[in-house]
Structure 1
Amino acid sequence: MTTVVQGKRTMSPTIVMVIIVLIAALLTYLVPSGEFKREKVEQQDGKKVTLVVPDSYKTTQKEYSFSDVLVGTPSKEVVKPVSVIQTLHAVPKGIIEQADLIFMVMFIGGMFGVLSKSGAIEAGLERSLSITKGNVYLLVPSLMIIFSLGSTFMGMAKEYLLVIPMVIAMTDRLGLSKVTGLAIVTLAVKVGYLASLTNPYALAVAQPLVGVPVFSGMSMRLVTYVAMMGICIAYVLWHIRRENAGGQKLSHSFDSTPLSAQHLWLLIALGVGVAFMVYGSQTWKWKATELSAYYLFLSVVFAAIAKMRPSDAADAFVAGMKKVLIAAVLIGLATAVAIILKEGQIMDTIIHYLVGFIGGNGAYISAYSMFVCQLLLDIAIPSTSGQAAVTMPILGPVGEIVGVTPQTTVFAFLMGNGLTNVITPTSSGLLIFLATAEVSWTRWAKYVWPLVVILFITALILLTIAVATGY
């Protein structure tokens, strides 16, 4: 199955994810099974997290017959590879496991379906662009810096799903591609996470596990933020320049007609709604379920202000949901990878091998190895806090033995986790961004891979500085 993008045929993102799922299933036959011991530890904030016990890895005997390859069932007594039937079951299991996230994405799509039908977004963009005269060299850096601040200081990510359709509408109006609009939001959010100046989801888990105060060592992360945001902004502007290689104007004339009262109230409601959502997420720790209910509430508010008939509002909501329906399949497939690795009991083996890969080759090589280790692990464990909980108890002691400071160990984790999430197809966070923007993973990967290479080299340089200065 292929999709057509701007006259070119590219592989469907669903097929890409299916291939990754099949590779994960095959690895359960090729990679030895094993596991670490785990224990629950209470953190400084009183929360209990399950951590891996260092040096506790043990291999387990794997037994299976021909029938197990086709129909095998999980067993606590006997370790088996994942069968064909289990591989198929992993997909609906993944969808069920991420049901709250999937519905949140679909409700966002529905909410914007209602808002789009009202015409407020188009009118608001036209007015905003008329003020700046559509100058992308002013708009793009300003928007990217604003978006990155929320993620690097507060760990905001899924909250930006609200703004992706609006930014893409803006780039459409400027004659630019959807992938450019997606990049303005996604790269800013991902680099914000990569630097994590005070991101609690990354630092509140990772730093205490290696024995350093939460949010300490900000100097190196600030350098990282400035360097990598500068690179990303330059990259997006360079791509915009390439899109306009034919001499098309990068600033345009727009209608400066004042907004109607209805459109103005709709945009005010949207602004207040976004602000309250950020407040609720940070104050009451709203998760996907609460956010889904909130987006449904906003849909009703928008429909009422726009004076839509109930049937028209419902049709617009469903039409908006249909646009992001593929997110359910993609998120289910991405989660299926982790389920397969756990059921085949090879997740811990992969972690054990990667720790062995770090070795004792001196502080510099070990720091680079930690970075690469985190890059690879992020494919299987795309959760930032989850990856920190698994790797920090292991890599912290390893770092001390080979001369890598605890802060640099955390820094290598941030670099690896943040960079892989820019492109990895198993990241549900990236997949819902892609689904909301209606951009395929293959198209996004083609756009972003040169930047990933540049950021990879930059990360190695920054790690070198961190080791050299004893950060």
Structure 2
Amino acid sequence: MNRSHSPSAIVEQVDEAAPSSPTSNKPSKQLNPALILLSIVFMALAFTYFVDSGQFERKDIAVIPGSYQTLEKDSGLSQLFSVEPRTANAEAARPVSLTEAFMAIPQGIEKRAGLIFMVLFIGGMFGVLNKAGAIDAGLERVLGLTKGNIYVLVPCLMLVFSAGSTFMGLAKEFILIVPLMVAMANRLGLPNIIGLAIVAISVKVGYLGSITNPVALAVAQPLVGVPMFSGLDMRVASYFTFLVVGIAFVLLSIRRHGFDSTAQFDFKQSRLHPRHAANLMLLALGVAFLVYASNRWHWKYPELSAYYLALSMVFAVVAGIGASEAAGAFVDGMKKVLMAGVLIGLATAVEIILSTGQVLDTIVNHLSELVGEHGPLVSAFGMFFAQLGLDVLIPSTSGQAAVTMPIFGPLGQLSGVTPQTTVYAFLLGNGLTNLITPTSSGLLVLLATAQVGWGQWARFIWPLLLAFTAIALALLSIAVLIGY
């Protein structure tokens, strides 16, 4: 087996060998995710005309319950073509014009520039590693040692990845892992989406459980007056329940895609070339140090981007790749994830339009009516479904907690829902929608890195989303009944 083959070359060989296979990639039949997001941008624009504008008063980032006020607004269609600059602190609200809607797209790219460049640099770094042949050689070694038994590899990998999310709130750190999992799937004759699922489902399971996830719990629990990280029992039960179902789903998907178990013993187990071994060791140490630095020094996107760039240079030196060749490989790697920048900008444009038209707080206020005083079980379900819907508009976990917890906490107590169950409903609703919402920059980055379209992912993940929803409702019912 030639170790100089890149994972992308392997994908092309698989597609050429089986053009009629249902697992072959057929980009021509997939709806471009940019078009999906662009349609959501215009839906957000329409919201600013047909939904009342209003706002809550806020203390720091948390809304003040009962402070919602409707704002006066001229929703005439003449506003659609307005070019008049929007004045800050205007007494009357105004819907978003076409000009502002289009401007929101480059503004979204500018707002998320740090994230976009980080993703591009990650793509470049793996371009260098692929050029060095380290990933291909490492995968051959791992698959050889395990005899290619993916039924052993998948559960172990998903347990490790989900543990990082549920205990430490890791998410963006796993972008590094996606190309490795995609390459592993390709090596076993499986499509990119299987490699993506191993990572994406693990991360989402971790957030659904959120045993000690600081990203979610550090905001949500204090806002409803419960100690941070309290109420472990139900979250531990959730984590293991969702993890078992998630692993089973991935393994069943592997069988459905026609994984040939007789081919799993064809991998060599020869020793790694010293340059390959050194680069793979550096990659493992680099990921470990990244997790430490992100938590210890709170690295943001600029620091992370610089880190990936520095790692790329080290990988090139260790592999003995010339400067020009390494630069070319870095640029080629960036090209593969370039679409991610556009998608992130479009997703952020939705948030900008809703904020500019001042309709987001109105939507939150109306959804709070689902909770009302309907008894604890109905109110808890109302919170869950409200969080499901809001996650499309507020894909940030901490941002959604800051908006909803101060409102749903008091409403839940009036209906007999404990504060801990209110947080639990938030975790379940937020985690579920993040599996599929097209406005989540985190999901879009994973899709772009794996080169999987949103439509393809939505069709793949839909059965699991339905199963997870049924499990979530059952667990939420138990939480209400036991007074969690």
Q: Structure 2: where are the runs of 5+ without partners?
A: 1-23
Distance 1:248 1:166 in 2: 21
Which of 398, 401, 424 aligns to 2:411? It is: 398
1:175 — aligned with what? 189
Q: Aligned pair 1:86/2:100, yes or no?
A: yes
1:366 — aligned with what? 379
1:414-440 alpha-carbon deviations (Å, 9 max, x no partner): 001111101000000000000111111
Normalising by the residue count of structure 1, what TM-score does the alignment of the two structures yield?
0.95
1:326 — aligned with what? 339
For residue 361 of structure 1, report the CA deviation from its aligned partner.
Answer: 1.0
Counterpart of 1:443, as a letter, is Q
Q: Aligned pair 1:51/2:55, yes or no?
A: no
1:116-173 alpha-carbon deviations (Å, 9 max, x no partner): 0000100010011000011111011110000001000000000001111011100000
1:162-212 alpha-carbon deviations (Å, 9 max, x no partner): 111011100000011100100000000111011100000100111011111
Counterpart of 1:131, as a letter, is L
Distance 1:250 1:415 in 2: 39
Counterparts of 1:308-327 in structure 2, within 5 Å, are: 308-327=321-340
1:71-92 alpha-carbon deviations (Å, 9 max, x no partner): 3432332311111101000000
Counterparts of 1:15-414 in structure 2, within 5 Å, are: 15-40=35-60, 50-63=61-74, 66-72=77-83, 73-75=85-87, 76-77=89-90, 78-244=92-258, 249=262, 251-414=264-427
For residue 70 of structure 1, report the CA deviation from its aligned partner.
Answer: 1.4
Counterpart of 1:374, as a letter, is Q
Percent identity of paired positions between Structure 1 and Structure 2: 55
For residue 257 of structure 1, report the CA deviation from its aligned partner.
Answer: 1.5
| Cα gap change, 1:351 to 1:248, in 2 (>3 Å) | same
Counterparts of 1:444-459 in structure 2, within 5 Å, are: 444-459=457-472
| Cα gap change, 1:112 to 1:7, in 2 (>3 Å) | closer
Kindly tell me the number of residue pairs found equivalent between the two proteins.
458
Q: Structure 1: where are the runs of 5+ without partners?
A: 41-49
Normalising by the residue count of structure 2, what TM-score does the alignment of the two structures yield?
0.93
Work out whether residues 135 and 250 of structure 1, in 8 Å CA contact, stay in contact via their aligned partners in 2: no
Work out whether residues 371 and 408 of structure 2, in 8 Å CA contact, stay in contact via their aligned partners in 1: no
Q: Once superposed, which parts of structure 1, at least 4 consecutive aligned residues long, lie more than 2 Å away?
A: 4-8, 64-68, 71-76, 247-252
**Cα RMSD (Å) of the superposition?**
1.3
| Cα gap change, 1:401 to 1:331, in 2 (>3 Å) | same
Work out whether residues 164 and 181 of structure 1, in 8 Å CA contact, stay in contact via their aligned partners in 2: yes
For residue 271 of structure 1, report the CA deviation from its aligned partner.
Answer: 1.0
Counterpart of 2:324, as a letter, is S
Aligned residue for 1:79, secondary structure, equals: coil
Q: Aligned pair 1:461/2:481, yes or no?
A: no
